[in-house]
Chains A and B, each alone.
Chain A
Amino acid sequence: EAGVAQSPRYKIIEKRQSVAFWCNPISGHATLYWYQQILGQGPKLLIQFQNNGVVDDSQLPKDRFSAERLKGVDSTLKIQPAKLEDSAVYLCASSPIAGTRGETQYFGPGTRLLVL
């Protein structure tokens, strides 16, 4: 079974530029998550989709970050414009379903973003 795919793996941009990340979850997984992991910290949930609907985006900085999962499969996360503090690893994860008890999440390799 193929795992969660993400691209690009690395990205270097200058502040105020735009950047987009792509994620393809495990086939059949209904729930998709985007996390931001700053060096030395635990992953922080940015947004959670179930199929193509948003379940939780309470920690997404909506003035600059946006995400979509139009067909309920792959997803893109965009930052526009980027700030220095956005430098982090952006992790995508997926799980089969989302219930009240939580499901195992399978993480992709992440995209390492450096904003100069």
Chain B
Amino acid sequence: GQQVMQIPQYQHVQEGEDFTTYCNSSTTLSNIQWYKQRPGGHPVFLIQLVKSGEVKKQKRLTFQFGEAKKNSSLHITATQTTDVGTYFCAGVRTGTASKLTFGTGTRLQVTL
């Protein structure tokens, strides 16, 4: 079956440092979504990428979809304590009707 892996599993940064999480799918994706889950909370949608090579920015967050549509990344510039949480990518395999396969997640801890 489809597998979506993320690295690293966990990262601890000082506030102000940058952070990147990488997502890799075993199959080609029609689109990829990113979600953030705060400790004890539920996943909250951040963004969706559809086109090969697409780059989207949301303030300090930059999302990229790979040319082959099998990988993606999320980069946070100058992290803040409010960025704490687990970031999941979730891919829709080409040909499946909106079935999301979530990645393994990257837990981000930010300290002052």
Chain A residues packing against B (C-beta within 8 Å)? 31, 41-45, 48, 55-56, 91, 93, 95, 98-110
Contact = CB atoms under 8 A, between A and B. Distances in A.
A107 B43 contact: yes
Contacts, number: 66
Contacts of A103: 98
Given A31-B98, A42-B102, A42-B105, A106 B48 contact: no
Contacts of B100: 45, 102, 105
A48 B90 CA distance: 15
A85 B62 CA distance: 37
B105 A41 contact: yes
Contact of B30 (A91, A93, A100, A108): A100
* Chain A interface mostly: loop
Interface of B: 4, 30-31, 33, 41-45, 48, 50, 88, 90, 92, 95-105
A30 B44 CA distance: 19
Given A101-B92, A105-B100, A108-B42, 7 more contacts: A45-B99, A48-B99, A55-B99, A101-B98, A104-B45, A105-B33, A106-B45
A95 B98 contact: yes
A55 B97 CA distance: 8
Contacts of A43: 43, 88, 102
Contact of A102 (B31, B43, B104): B31
Nearest to B89: A42
Contacts of B98: 31, 48, 95, 98-103
A45 B101 contact: yes
A99 B105 contact: no
A50 to B, nearest CB: 8
Contacts of B31: 101-102
Contacts of A98: 97-98
A45 B98 CA distance: 11
A77 to B, nearest CB: 16
Given A48-B99, A91-B43, A106-B45, A101 B33 contact: no
